[in-house]
Amino acid sequence: MSLRNPPAVIFDHVAKAFGPKQILRDISFEVPTAEILCILGRSGTGKSVTLKLLMSLIKPDTGKIWVDGEEITGLKEAGISRVRRKMGFLFQDAALFDSLTLYENLALPLRRLTHKSQAEIDTTIDKVLGQVNLGGDKQKMPASLSGGMRKRAGLARALVLEPRILLADEPSSGLDRITAAEIDELLLLQKRERQTTVIVVTHDVHGARRVGDRFAVFDKGDLVAFGTAAEVEQSENETARKLISEY
């Protein structure tokens, strides 16, 4: 089933538990196309699980998830693969393949999922690595990159297939303020120039307020506030007010 002119992402009464532990409870929200949603919350409140549900890396126990107008919870392997091609995922620790060079990390999805020639692949990789200021490091192994470089390399891999939806799990964690601001600027660039929808899980309220159009605040598996920064600041939930105003 699909929708016409749909929001980029819809969560419809989604719940997820791991064993006896309820991670997400009856979560519903929508993210319009070309907006940046920042998901805030304390550790262990289900923020990263939300991203993994979107990527179909795990399945919800109940509820439905729509990506780009397509309901994904009932999809088989081929359908999931098709939906994933619309998305890029920046993992918390970048999750680069440590046995491949940075160039090979980026070339792998291009070789397998596109019909680009070798010259086109090289051009694409040079362009994406240039965007994240890693143009001179493409023959390096992930283990030889610093934390900030790894994060930018992870972002480059997430962007290399030009996704319509970008998911970023803690893009600024462990980074100094300048590098974190550079990452934030790259996320804004995706939205401005490519109308990419971006969903960011973060603890960095400063960065979130810089890039976010809307904010979702999770607490103990519940979505306790959702809206613009001003709306969340006026929320009845104390945790939401504290999280959004924390500098």
Partner 1 sequence: MFHLRKLIEFVGSVSGFALRVVVDFFRPPFEGAQIMRQLAEVGYRSLPLLIAAGFALGTVMTLHTRTTLVTFGASSMIPTVQALAFFLEIGPLLTGLLLAGRVGSGIGAVLANMRATEQIDGIESLSIDSFKFLVVPRVVACVIALPLLTLFTDFSGLMGGFLTEYFSSGTSFYLYIARAFANMEWSNFIPPTLKTSVFGFIIGLVSSYFGYTTNDGAQGVGKAATYSVVVSSLLIIFADVVLIKCIFFAFPENAR
Alpha helices in 55-101 (DSSP H): 77-84
Q: What is the DSSP letter of 124?
A: H
Applying CB under 8 A, does 228 fall inside the site for partner 1? Answer: no
Applying CB under 8 A, does 112 fall inside the site for partner 1? Answer: yes
Residues whose CB is less than 8 angstroms from the CB of residue 205 and which lie 6 or more positions away in sequence, other chains included: 40, 243, 244, 245, 246, 247
Applying CB under 8 A, among 109, 133, 210, 213 the residue interacting with partner 1 is: 109
Q: How far is CA 132 from CA 27, 47, 125, in A?
A: 34, 25, 11
Applying CB under 8 A, among 25, 42, 52, 241 the residue interacting with partner 1 is: 52
Q: How far is the CB of 142 from partner 1 (least distance, A)?
A: 10
Interaction residues for partner 1, span 146-185 (CB under 8 A)? 157, 161
| Continuous segment of H or E residues that includes residue 2 | none
Applying CB under 8 A, does 141 fall inside the site for partner 1? Answer: no
Interaction residues for partner 1, span 77-96 (CB under 8 A)? 77, 81-82, 84-85, 87-89, 91-93, 95-96
Applying CB under 8 A, does 120 fall inside the site for partner 1? Answer: no
Contact in structure between 31 and 37 (CB atoms under 8 Å): yes
| Continuous segment of H or E residues that includes residue 217 | strand 214-219
How big is the site for partner 1, counted in residues (CB under 8 A)?
24
Residues that bind partner 1 (CB under 8 A): 52, 55, 57, 77, 81-82, 84-85, 87-89, 91-93, 95-98, 108-109, 112-113, 157, 161
